[in-house]
A and B are shown apart, each in its own frame.
Chain A
Amino acid sequence: MAIGWYLVVSALIFCIGAGGVLARRNPLVILLCLELMLNGANLALVAFARMWGTETGQVFALIVMVVAAAEVTVGLGLIVAIYRRRMPIDVDELSELHG
């Protein structure tokens, strides 16, 4: 398959993830959609690695996975802490950091 196909799929996954981030109110689901976006980027990276014949893209994709894991850890930790404080699990309610 031509590399272009993979890139289109990657774009679609990315945009679906972005739409999910904007449309959902549950922070857990927002984090899941964030994962989708990262995965879309990963796919693009690996596709380009294949295109150029170097493994740099794959290395980059692995690092992205590491970062995603770390971010998920912290994000879920936040959600647990919020839950423990008995605050509503709704991003529209958690809006105290405003100007």
Chain B
Amino acid sequence: MTPVLFFIAAIGAISGAIGVVTLRNPFYSVLCLAFHLVSLAALFLLLRAEFVAAGQVVVYAGAVMVLYVFVVAYVGGGEQLPSGGVLKVLGPLFALALAIELCIAMLGSGLAGIKGKGAPFIPGFGTPKHIGALFLTTYLFPFEAASILLLIAAVGAVVLARRRRGLERDEEAELRVRAPRPAYTGTMAEAAGIRPAAHEQEPQPEVEPVGGPAHSPGGW
């Protein structure tokens, strides 16, 4: 029974992976990854890692993939990008070489445990009770560090993605045409920025910022 389940899950995982890499539409790639993650959860279950499998489905397939879906919806990414040059061919080749190498390394290394099916059964192996106990005793420090990392990531994401009001003016400023003036011409007021130069006042009604009215509060 176990080999059958194993092969189903493995093929599912690998095909999901290939789908992520090859499909053109990013949305389809996201869906393939979700499928891949669920297959991987099945593999975890086969390896008696119940808590990890549950975590995989809940956190990875549940939260991270949802995040991806939202971003793909926002960004779109539907444009067809031209082929990526030499790396389009070389990339998979390097990856293939690495795969072969890893397989040789693992299988030819003579590790004793690979041939076997693993350690004898320990009751409660992989249950939340055991994992939880480990997290709160031996691995307390990584546990706390991970939570701080999540905090930092959250703060970072908010900082990166927020709308900043000052930016709008910069964008407008970039779009305005600036004709360079010869040195030492112009008035002091212009140099201090109190009064804009005469030639700079004209383009404003002509050029519109691309993203629509910039100062509308909220909403994106």
* A contact residues vs B (CB 8 Å cutoff): 1-9, 11-26, 28-29, 31-33, 35-36, 39, 42-43, 46-47, 49-53, 55-56, 58-59, 61-63, 65-74, 76-81, 83-84, 86, 89-90, 92
Contact = CB atoms under 8 A, between A and B. Distances in A.
A74 B160 contact: yes
A24 B21 contact: yes
Interface stretch (B12-20, B184-192, B200-208): B12-20
B17 A36 contact: yes
A15 B49 contact: no
A79 B67 CA distance: 12
13 contacts: A1-B46, A3-B114, A12-B14, A13-B36, A19-B92, A24-B21, A39-B60, A42-B40, A43-B44, A53-B122, A58-B131, A71-B153, A89-B75
A51 B118 contact: yes
A32 B20 contact: yes
A67 B125 CA distance: 24
A19 B120 CA distance: 37
Contacts, number: 245
A59 B68 contact: no
B49 A83 contact: no
Interface of B: 2-3, 6, 10, 13-14, 17-18, 20-21, 26, 29-30, 33, 36-37, 40, 43-44, 46-49, 51-52, 55-56, 59-60, 63-64, 67-68, 71-72, 74-75, 77, 79, 81, 84-85, 87-88, 90-92, 94-96, 98-99, 102-103, 106-107, 113-120, 122, 125-126, 130-131, 134-135, 139, 142, 146, 149-150, 152-154, 156-161, 163, 210-211
Nearest to A11: B102
A50 B52 CA distance: 12
Given A16-B14, A22-B95, A70-B150, A80 B64 contact: no
Contacts of B67: 72-73, 76
B99 A51 contact: no
Contacts of B64: 35, 68-69, 72
Contacts of B33: 32, 35-36
A71 to B, nearest CB: 7
Contact of B106 (A11, A21, A36): A11
B96 A3 contact: no
B80 to A, nearest CB: 10
B20 A28 contact: no
A7 B106 CA distance: 8
